[in-house]
Amino acid sequence: MSRREITADICVIGAGSGGLSVAAGAAQLGLSTVLFEKGEMGGDCLNYGCVPSKALIAAGEAAQSARDAGRLGVKAGKVTVDFAAVMAHVHKTIETIAPIDSQERFEGLGVTVIREPARFEDARTVGSDSVQVRARKFVVATGSHAAVPPIPGLDQVPYLTNETVFGLNALPKRLIVLGGGPIGVELGQAFRRLGSEVTIIEAGVLLPREDPACAAVVAEQLAADGVEVLTGAPATAVEAGPVVVVGEGASARRIEGTHLLIAVGRRPAISGLNLEAGGIAYTQAGITTRRDLRTTNPRVFAVGDAAGRGQFTHLAGAHAGLVVRRAIFGLPVNADALVVPRVTYCDPEVASVGLTEAEARTAHGAGIRVETFPFHDNDRAQAEGDGRGFGKLILTKAGKVLGVTLVGRHAGDHIHIWSLALSGGVKLGAFTGMIAPYPTRGEIAKRLAGQFYTPALFSDRTRRLVSVLKRFA
């Protein structure tokens, strides 16, 4: 059967956050646009990642809030969880958001949507079973998929990933989570709060990318929730049960469960694209891109997880904006200059932007200052009975902001202002000059900034100056 031939201005492979943003932008600017998607419209974030996981986390948080209500004088009684209703909430959330990413909406914008796997046939042609597309520009936005480690026996045992865990119809009795990064911690804590027994197994340290002091706050809460966390514990084998063997020899420990969740990270989903035929270089980390997100084939751009520059939905969206500016308007862009915040949505949340303290010390040595402020000293936190966590501000000695980390209740909602400071070049003095509404947890930004100036403001030199000025006041 002959294939339909299509000529287009833009051809996008992948209908996740980045690909949909590029396709929508191009179509609304009047360009002929083709969009390939072999799976679900909306990609990982809508169907298996950000959206369902946060809906599940919200259910777990509600259950825990009811259990903890007594500290505020509220008696909630015994908490029961209807897991079927929880999963109905998860899928209802997906269904509510899905129309925004739907094939119908994009076809309404004028996009030709092809629901088939796509592959490069040459440097300017992409094909599928039914169509062949020649385009002026291509964008690879295929996202990522769950990484599966080469542990002996794992291929013989049923396991879950973030792509299958939301299909559960019964609460796991005892869940083993392999991986103590963001996905493992978020889902492990959520399932524990919903009633599962949970063990998290991590070969290294918990939340390895984050400030160790922040990870310690999270670890303390996980322990309080009843989550067993094993760190420095490489899994050496998996057996039927499932059983995860940690360590070797006489010191080996066997962890038994009813379900196994693999959460050891994600890998770019670029296999099957025949990138070689398109003249597109890549590594295990993703497609090789320049700072304008062009690949080794100047007609082809890569965005989001596939580009190997970070695995965040908001980063994919930012990449899409850069590609629209570069590929369509010919404007210079620099993906290397993006300031990308990140949040782990456990309780308490961990939110970071810029350099961590360890990264800053590596880059600047002794030429940094670190200011911390505990949420315990924030009035809103006291009113809510939740003073867990702190904020940490990392600066140069001259007061230039290098990075911020927050760990505490809804920390992710308070990192935006620091993202603005880093991306927009906002000076530290602007924080001390602003009026922060009282009482809010957002006041911590003003307090952190103010602490930088405190030593100079109340120094002996300033006191001597005041003693002179008072004579003339």
| 3-state SS class at 411 | helix
How far apart are the C-alpha atoms of 356 and 189, rounded to whole Å?
24
Report the distance separating Cα 166 and Cα 52, nearest Å. 7
Residue in 267, 6, 14, 20 with CA at minimum distance from that of residue 116 = 14
**197 and 66 co-located in one domain:** no
Together in a domain, 239 and 325 = no
Give the domain extent around 445.
348-457
* Of 266, 286, 308, the domain-final residue: 266
3-class DSSP state for residue 254?
Answer: strand
pTM attached to this predicted model: 0.94
What confidence score (pLDDT) does residue 473 get? 66
- State residue 459's pLDDT score: 64
Tell me if 48 sits within 8 A of 24, measured CB to CB: no
Q: How many CB atoms lie within 10 A of CB 119?
A: 17
- Residues 141 and 272 placed together within one structural domain of the fold: yes
φ, ψ dihedrals at 387, nearest 5°: -105, 20
Answer for the pair 47, 178: CB distance below 8 angstroms, yes or no.
no
Cα–Cα dist 50/333, whole Å: 27
Of 212, 242, 266, the residue at which a domain comes to its end is 266
Exposure string for 8-22, b = 16+ CB within 10 A, e = fewer? bbbbbbbbbbbbbbb
Q: How many residues does the chain have?
A: 473
Which runs of consecutive H residues, i.e. helices, occur in 145-278?
182-194, 212-225
Residue pair 202/229 in contact by the 8 Å Cβ criterion: yes
Q: Which residues have a Cβ under 8 Å from the Cβ of 391 and sit 6 or more positions away?
A: 372, 373, 375, 404, 405, 406, 408, 444, 445, 447, 448
Question: Which residue type does 254 have?
Answer: R
Q: Answer whether 162's CB lies under 8 Å from 49's CB.
A: yes
Q: If DSSP codes are grouped into helix, strand and coil, which group holds residue 249? A: helix
What confidence score (pLDDT) does residue 458 get? 66
Q: Is residue 468 assigned to a domain? A: no
Q: Per-residue confidence of the chain (473 residues) as pLDDT tens digits?
A: 689 999 999 999 999 999 999 999 999 999 999 999 999 999 999 999 999 999 999 999 999 999 999 999 999 889 999 999 999 999 999 999 999 999 999 999 999 999 999 999 999 999 999 999 999 999 999 999 999 999 999 999 999 999 999 999 999 999 999 999 999 999 999 999 999 999 999 999 999 999 999 999 999 999 999 999 999 999 999 999 999 999 888 889 999 999 999 999 999 999 999 999 999 999 999 999 999 999 999 999 999 999 999 999 999 999 999 999 999 999 999 999 999 999 999 999 999 999 999 999 999 999 999 999 999 999 999 999 999 999 999 999 999 999 999 999 999 999 999 999 999 999 999 999 999 999 999 999 999 999 998 877 666 776 777 677 777 76
What are the beta bridge partners of residue 349? Answer: 408
Q: Select from 92, 81, 86, 102 the least CA-distant residue to 24.
A: 102
Q: What's the confidence (pLDDT) of residue 248?
A: 86
CATH number at residue 33: 3.50.50.60
Nearest to 351 by CA among 447, 229, 211, 445: 211
| Cβ-proximal residues to 29 (8 Å cutoff; 6+ apart), any chain | 324, 328
Distances in whole angstroms, Cα of residue 300 to Cα of each of 44, 113, 141, 294, 469:
22, 19, 11, 6, 66
pLDDT of residue 58: 98
Question: C-alpha distances in angstroms, 344 versus 65, 214, 258?
Answer: 19, 11, 26
Assess whether the previous peptide bond of 242 is cis (omega < 30° from 0).
yes
Distances from the Cα of 385 to the Cα of 102, 218, 219, 379, 407, angstroms: 42, 17, 19, 10, 16
Is residue 409 within 8 Å of 441, Cβ to Cβ?
A: yes
Q: SS3 for 407?
A: strand
**Domain co-membership, 205 together with 62:** no
Residues 370 and 439 in one domain: yes
Closest CA to 320 of 12, 1, 81: 12
67 and 17 housed in the same domain: yes
Q: Collect all residues with Cβ–Cβ distance below 8 Å to 390 and sequence separation of at least 6.
A: 213, 217, 372, 373, 374, 375, 406, 407, 408
Per the CB < 8 A criterion, the answer to whether 274 and 113 are in contact is no
Residue 399 near residue 430, CB atoms below 8 Å: no
Q: Do residues 126 and 234 share a domain?
A: no
331-339: list long-range contacts, CB under 8 Å, 24+ apart.
332/292, 333/291, 333/292, 333/293, 334/291, 334/292, 335/289, 335/291, 335/292, 335/293, 335/307, 335/309, 336/291, 337/291, 338/423, 339/419, 339/422, 339/423
For residue 331, what pLDDT is reported? 96
In a domain? residue 471: no
| Together in a domain, 21 and 129 | yes
Q: Is 366 exposed, middle or buried (0-12, 13-18, 19+ CB in 10 A)?
A: exposed
* Number of domains into which the chain is organized: 3
CATH number of the structural domain spanning residue 452: 3.30.390.30
Task: Collect contacts of 71-75 with beta carbons under 8 A, ≥24 apart.
Answer: 71/385, 72/385
In a domain, 313, yes or no: yes
| CA pair distance 288, 47, nearest whole angstrom | 27
Residue 158 resides in a domain: yes
Domain-embedded: residue 473: no
177 and 38 share one domain: no
Q: Is 464 a member of any domain?
A: no
Residue 404 and residue 329 in one domain: no
Please report whether residue 467 resides in a domain. Answer: no
Q: How many CB atoms lie within 10 A of CB 216?
A: 13
262 in the same domain as 272: no
**Residues 279 and 187 placed together within one structural domain of the fold:** no
Which of 222, 200, 193 has the alpha carbon at shortest distance from 83?
A: 193
